[in-house]
A = this chain, B = another copy of it.
Amino acid sequence: CEAEEPGSSSKDSLSGPTIDIFGYLQPQYDYFFTDGDQDNTFRFKRARVGVRGEVLDDFSYYFMLETSPFIGSTGDAYLMDAFITYNADNWARISLGSFKQPFSLDVSTPCNQLKTIERSVVADQLISPQRDFGVAVFGGNKYNRLNYSVALMNGRGLGVKDDNVKKDITGRATYKIIRNLTVGASFRYGYPIPNNNEDDRTTYGAEFLLELNRFAVQGEYIYDEGAYFAGAGGGCGATPIALGKERDGAYILASYDVSEKFQPVFKYEYFDADINIKDNLGYSERMTLGFNYFVNDKVRFQVNYLANIETVVNVNNDALLTQVQVRF
């Protein structure tokens, strides 16, 4: 019920209009194992607050501000996800407004339910702009084997009007093969460059999620080619990396519930900013080792050690991130 996904099924549709305040705070302390001075800082990751609810006739709304000064262009509060949803049918929930591109399991996971503090580098770098204005159709729920989402979007990201004639199309479908195993695929085709109706971009993704009692493992591969626009930024404040003509990346993430409260996690990932160049500086690997500690449903501690591995020239850039999250 905490899903940020615009087409998520409404909790209940009994009575009249509803209005719920919701949000979460993610204060963080980061320590960087760099050469020389070891930078460290208190900060916020995300700090979100909003309202959502239902109005009659299967219409609902979602209205959320990002107020963390470290996401977005200016540091001030701004409108992030905001959409109106018409719940025509379980197979056709239509949302209009601003929301995340329906691409990849990692991007689709609500920001307050990620198992590691950072999303995968490949998702942050290639599924950009992560949020956009558009219209989307969502189908299926957690009891259905098939779920799908398709969106027609500006392709420019938040805060600006589209200034080319073309729209971008993005879609994702997942299928529960057996009770424990879900596989999925994503697709995007668009025109990412402002004032340019010629240069296109194509992106594919494949994913799986295996849940065995207390053990869970998920993985994704994303391939992307064609034009791109660095000004669109990376996901959730990530700094965009310069890309070649073709680029890809993948991650695998495993977690084990030692108890209801304590959940160690491990993630291995790589990102290649230019497939056609061997030993390029845009290639990186990262291992994330950490744990989640759930005080209860609303309070989570997250500690992650990020071991960044450079294969060409080694750089001291490991980091220890610690976060407390309260949801309301």
**Does A221 touch B at the CB level, under 8 Å?**
no
Within 8 A of B (CB), among A49-107: 49, 51, 53, 55-57, 59, 61, 63, 65, 67-70, 72-79, 82-84, 96-98
A247 to chain B, nearest CB (A): 27
Known pairs A56-B298, A59-B295; A79 contacts B77 (CB<8 A): yes
> Once bound together, how far apart are the Cα atoms of A42 and B163, in whole Å?
11
**Does A165 touch B at the CB level, under 8 Å?**
yes
Q: Are B165 and A69 in contact (CB under 8 A)?
A: no
Q: Are A39 and B163 in contact (CB under 8 A)?
A: yes
Interface flags for A195-239 (1: CB within 8 Å of B; 0: not) read 001000000000000000000000000000000000000000000
Q: Looking at chain A, what size class is its interface with the partner chain?
A: 35 or more
**Does A326 touch B at the CB level, under 8 Å?**
yes
Query: In the complex this chain forms, how many copies of it are found?
Result: 3
Q: Are A25 and B162 in contact (CB under 8 A)?
A: no
Q: Are A27 and B295 in contact (CB under 8 A)?
A: no
Q: Are B84 and A326 in contact (CB under 8 A)?
A: yes
Q: Are B165 and A37 in contact (CB under 8 A)?
A: yes
**Does A249 touch B at the CB level, under 8 Å?**
no
> Once bound together, how far apart are the Cα atoms of A78 and B72, in whole Å?
12
Name 21 interchain pairs, CB-CB below 8 A, sorted by A: A19-B328, A21-B51, A23-B63, A25-B61, A25-B83, A25-B97, A27-B97, A38-B165, A42-B153, A44-B98, A44-B133, A56-B296, A61-B326, A61-B328, A67-B77, A67-B82, A69-B79, A74-B75, A84-B299, A84-B324, A96-B324
